[in-house]
């Protein structure tokens, strides 16, 4: 059974036994094994109920006969037991030890490399507007996009990470208009503010004056909806957007200047978060292609123009509604540029999949996008996949950009680094590190806490981010796993070169078996996580492995073990766990320290 994992060998042996005993033809790939529940003896469990009818025997009898046949033909099975219709296989120590010995020297165990010829998978994430800095919601988006990309790469995909910057539209016009009116020529250099923060300041300023104007109109007897539409500052912002689309040089010049401030700020935040992109698209370059597609849809009769000049797609026959694609003044909407961007990406990459990492409030948007692309005749429309994720909030509640109540990403990272430094100093174990090493440690602990706390939650779920809980050195946190890795690396350094041992003269204790079995599941876990686009499965695997190791470490001597064979095996086990933690945390974008 050399180079074959035990689960494959078991399913093949079960398949052969079913055919021999009962004439049942079952492909090994269709035979499902599961980890044996902790309250029962065994490693893998086969549910035999699906075979009882054809075997014409009681479940217990079928399980016993299959167990006997498999154990006779597969020496790695050292025993089995039957609990009603459940057959539990017990795997020999020899197999687990041989598995460990083969994996110690594999730094990329569990990871699969893509080949350059593989058709790429395109993952879009971040997609910020240029009217405000990145905030906590963007952090979840960026961390999910980066880690999903890394996860797909780890399982053999050729991934292209892309960003679409929403650099045009009414949102940036609001900031531009407010800066013109109230900015007094303020710049990032004169104010000492990051450019994205400065532009965000004027987005908030616009909203403040807009609300004042709406209130004034309502006080004069106007209905609220009409007041919101006819507030002078809003009408002026809409006029600015129209002038932008018409190519007005003054508006375009101001737009380029303020967007330049924002891009510099974004790049700094991306660098701090440790995320990046293979290509960046800009809405200002893709919306015109979207407009061309709208014209194509009109020519095809897929779209229609209303009396006021606006262009729509009627999706009522598909169970949706009518979707606006061009406003009556000819300006585009988000859907317009998304149509253009999708086509451009398909041309750029011929992608196997186009994955959009976007919050679940846009679920409807992506249903419409796929449907319109399909109606326009693009066969690859079914390759569009919306990786929908839940909202992230703080204990204080929801965030609102217009009201200036968002938690900026930069401010949150600063606070996390400060907390990491305080907690590390309280522990008092970093005195031997240089000031530069300490500063780096505080940074990776802060980012490890932030990233892990967000990524350990299933992407589809809403979540509450609690900074204080995230940076605890105990429990299901990034720092706990980082500290476990540092502890293991310290053990391996002290041990020096790993010696050799024989599988025949070393018996495993319960804690050793538990850790090795956890290592054994790494490749399967990564494949399942990639199929589900779920970094949470990787995060919780890393925590379970770290927890199993710490249980082993507390109860089992390593460097002080007198038996040479056992000592070598345990050092090898340490090295393999450290490697697995490093690889899984790297998928999450988290650096693990060598020393803490």
Q: In this predicted model, what pLDDT tens digit does every residue of 380-434 receive, in sequence order?
A: 999 999 999 998 887 765 444 444 456 889 988 998 999 888 888 887 767 778 8
pTM: 0.90
The three-state secondary structure class of 56 is: coil
Class of the CATH-defined domain 6-91:
alpha beta
* Residue pLDDT, tens place only, 26-68: 999 999 999 999 899 999 999 999 999 999 999 999 999 999 9
77-83/86-91 β-pairing = antiparallel
Confidence of residue 245 (pLDDT cuts 50, 70, 90): confident
Q: Which two tokens stand for residue 460?
A: 């589809």
CA-to-CA separations, 93 to 40, 523, 554, in angstroms, rounded: 18, 20, 21
| Sign, Cα dihedral of 554, 556, 558, 559 | positive
Cα–Cα dist 14/273, whole Å: 48
CA-to-CA separations, 537 to 503, 524, 534, in angstroms, rounded: 32, 11, 6
Beta bridge partners of 193: none
CB 136 within 8 A of CB 400: no
Tally of CA atoms within 13 A in the half-sphere of 74 that contains its CB? 32
Tally of CA atoms within 13 A in the half-sphere of 395 that contains its CB? 5
Q: Which two tokens stand for residue 219?
A: 């006080």
Burial (CB count <10 Å: 0-12, 13-18, 19+), residue 533: buried
Let me know if the fold of 125-393 is the same as that of 429-587: no
State residue 460's pLDDT score: 93
The three-state secondary structure class of 354 is: strand
* Residue pLDDT, tens place only, 68-89: 999 999 999 999 999 999 999 9
Q: Which two tokens stand for residue 208?
A: 């403040």
CB 283 within 8 A of CB 166: yes
Residue 27 CA, chain-centre distance (Å), reads 34
CB 454 within 8 A of CB 519: no
* Residue pLDDT, tens place only, 448-501: 999 999 999 999 999 988 888 888 888 899 999 999 999 999 999 998 876 665
Cα–Cα dist 355/559, whole Å: 48
For residues 531-536, average pLDDT: 97
Mean pLDDT over each residue of the chain, to the nearest integer = 92
CB 333 within 8 A of CB 126: no
Cα–Cα dist 171/10, whole Å: 59
State residue 27's pLDDT score: 95
Domain residue extents for the chain? 6-91, 125-393, 429-587
> What fold characterizes domain 125-393?
Rossmann fold (3.40.50)
State residue 505's pLDDT score: 61
State residue 62's pLDDT score: 96
Cα–Cα dist 75/213, whole Å: 82
Domain 429-587 = CATH 1.10.730.10: yes
């Amino acid at each position: 059974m050399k180079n074959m994992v035990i689960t494959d060998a078991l399913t093949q042996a079960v398949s052969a036994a079913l055919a021999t005993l009962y004439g049942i033809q079952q492909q090994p790939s269709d035979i499902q094994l599961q980890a044996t529940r902790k309250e029962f003896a065994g490693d893998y469990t086969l549910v035999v109920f699906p075979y009882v009818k054809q075997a014409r025997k009681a479940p217990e009898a079928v399980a016993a006969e299959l167990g006997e046949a498999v154990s006779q033909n597969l020496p790695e099975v050292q025993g089995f037991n039957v609990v009603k219709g459940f057959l539990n296989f017990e795997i020999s120590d020899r197999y687990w030890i041989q598995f460990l010995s083969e994996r110690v020297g594999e730094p990329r165990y569990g990871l699969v490399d893509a080949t350059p010829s593989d058709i790429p998978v395109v993952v879009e994430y971040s997609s910020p507007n240029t009217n405000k800095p990145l905030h906590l919601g963007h952090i979840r988006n960026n961390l999910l996009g980066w880690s999903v990309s890394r996860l797909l790469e780890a399982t053999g995909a050729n991934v292209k990470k892309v960003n679409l910057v929403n650099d045009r539209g009414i949102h940036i016009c609001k900031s531009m208009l407010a800066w013109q009116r109230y900015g007094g020529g303020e710049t990032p250099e004169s104010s000492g503010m990051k450019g994205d923060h400065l532009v965000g300041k004027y987005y908030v300023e616009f909203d403040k004056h807009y609300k004042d104007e709406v209130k004034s109109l309502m006080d004069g007897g106007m209905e609220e909806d009409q007041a919101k539409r006819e507030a002078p500052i809003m009408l002026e912002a809409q006029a600015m957007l129209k002038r932008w689309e018409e190519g007005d040089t003054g508006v375009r010049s101001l737009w380029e200047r303020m967007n330049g401030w924002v891009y510099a700020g974004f790049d700094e935040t991306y660098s701090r978060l440790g995320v990046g992109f293979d290509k960046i698209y800009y809405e200002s370059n893709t919306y015109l292609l979207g407009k061309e597609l709208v014209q194509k849809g009109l020519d095809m009769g897929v779209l229609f123009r209303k009396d006021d000049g606006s262009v729509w797609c009627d999706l009522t026959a598909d169970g949706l509604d009518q979707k606006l694609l061009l406003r009556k003044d000819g300006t585009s909407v988000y859907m317009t540029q998304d149509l253009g961007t999708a086509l451009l990406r398909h041309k750029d990459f011929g992608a196997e999949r186009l994955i959009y990492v976007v919050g679940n409030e846009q679920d409807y948007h992506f249903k419409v996008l796929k449907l319109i692309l399909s109606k326009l005749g693009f066969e690859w429309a079914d390759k569009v996949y919306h990786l929908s994720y839940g909202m992230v909030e703080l204990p204080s509640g929801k965030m609102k950009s217009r009201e200036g109540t968002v938690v900026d990403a930069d401010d949150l990272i600063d606070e996390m680094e400060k907390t990491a430094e305080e907690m590390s100093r309280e522990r008092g174990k970093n005195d031997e590190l240089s000031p530069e090493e300490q500063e780096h440690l505080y940074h990776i602990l802060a980012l490890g806490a932030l990233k892990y706390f967000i990524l350990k939650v299933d992407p589809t779920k809403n979540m509450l981010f609690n900074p204080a809980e995230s940076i605890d050195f105990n429990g299901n946190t990034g720092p706990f796993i980082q500290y476990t890795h540092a502890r293991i690396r310290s053990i391996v350094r002290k041990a020096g070169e790993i010696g050799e041992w024989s599988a025949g003269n070393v018996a495993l204790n319960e804690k050793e078996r538990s850790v090795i079995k956890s290592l054994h599941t790494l490749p399967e876990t990564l494949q399942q996580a990639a199929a589900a686009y779920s970094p949470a499965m990787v995060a919780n695997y890393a925590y379970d492995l770290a927890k199993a190791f710490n249980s082993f470490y507390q109860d089992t001597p390593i460097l002080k073990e007198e038996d040479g064979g056992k000592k070598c095996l345990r050092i090898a086990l340490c090295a393999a766990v450290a490697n697995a933690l490093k690889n899984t945390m790297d998928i999450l974008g988290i650096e693990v320290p060598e020393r803490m």
